[in-house]
Amino acid sequence: MRIIFMGTPAYAVPTLEALAAAGHEIVAVYSQPPRPAGRRGLDVLPSPVHAAAERLGIPVFTPKSLKGEAEQQAFDALEADAAVVVAYGLLLPKAILDAPRLGAWNGHASLLPRWRGAAPIQRAIMAGDNETGVMIMKMDEGLDTGPVALTQTVAIATDMTTGELHDRLSEITAQLMTKAMQRLEADELPVTPQAETDVSYAAKIKKAETRVDFNRPAQDVHNHVRGLAPTPGAWFELDVGDRAERVKLLATEIVATSPSGPSSAIVPGTVVDDRLLVACSEGAVWLLSLQKAGGKQLAVDEFLRGTSIAPGTMIG
């Protein structure tokens, strides 16, 4: 088929590559505009999907919006059979959704209607969900409200990070979307309306919520950390001399989950021993992997060789 592919981050690249390898004609790729990169923001880099499209020799368009009549006419002129959307990042007006002959199809990384919105992978882990998945849906004007065609579920292991789940779901999205387009071409892709109960929304991660709160139970702290790993990363502050230093926390282990554990009579945020066991409101977590600003990620033993943190120290 003639397909317009719309995506931006690395998550979407396997789907673009899989559709091209399956023999579809990718007539154009739409991606968000190149953005400043590097420490000083002096480099302007294309998105991962943009770069992949150039490697494949596919024309790339990077409009800031698709609301204008000129952009909509240009999109319609491509005469696509279908649009495939994976983590594009821009709202699609009705004129765009209606332009492809067989509609626009989205690969979404959750089990809809749970976690509609921008950050479904992070939110599923942060909430302690035991499973998630990928759904291929036909897009409508709502926020991830369209009818569903294909679904594949994935178990979330107790220590799985967002980075690990991201990579797994990215590959599944590529496989499932390729199957969906094959069935769509054969007119064998029925859809089922989503349930309108148990709806939840995956809001974009804000900087203000990335700080670790040891006043929460150990299980919540553990989910928070792994849900933000490796990026943007959860963090806490540690007093070093006369200043507070920010430390990114990338992995933890729950040592106790009940109030009767090692932290039961200790103020949350207190370092309990010489290996960075930290008290929570219920139970305690062992800090396994840490990173100072401008430094590299270190296992706890290596981190403590360069930074002395005595039992009784308060962090948070």
Q: Is 92 annotated as a binding residue?
A: no
Domain 207-306 indexed as CATH 3.50.50.60 = no
- Domain 2-201 matching CATH 3.90.930.12: the answer reads no
For every residue of 179-219, DSSP letters joined together read HHHHHHHTT----BPPPSSS--EEPPPPGGG-B--TTS-HH
> Are the C-beta atoms of 212 and 234 separated by less than 8 Å?
yes
pLDDT at residue 36 in the model: 83
Q: What is the mean pLDDT of each run of 10 residues along the chain (316 residues)?
A: 98 98 98 82 88 98 97 98 97 97 98 97 98 98 96 98 98 98 98 94 96 96 98 93 90 78 74 93 95 94 93 94
Domain ranges in the chain are: 2-201, 207-306
Per-residue pLDDT, 239: 86
pLDDT in the model for residue 272: 92
Question: Is 110 annotated for ligand binding?
Answer: yes
Is 111 annotated as ligand-binding?
Answer: yes
* Predicted pLDDT of residue 41: 65
pLDDT at 200: 97
- For residue 143, say whether it is annotated as part of any ligand binding site: no
What pTM, to 2 d.p., does this model score? 0.94
What pLDDT shows up at residue 228? 98
pLDDT of residue 242: 77
DSSP state of 161: -
SS3 311: coil
CA distance 32 to 9: 9
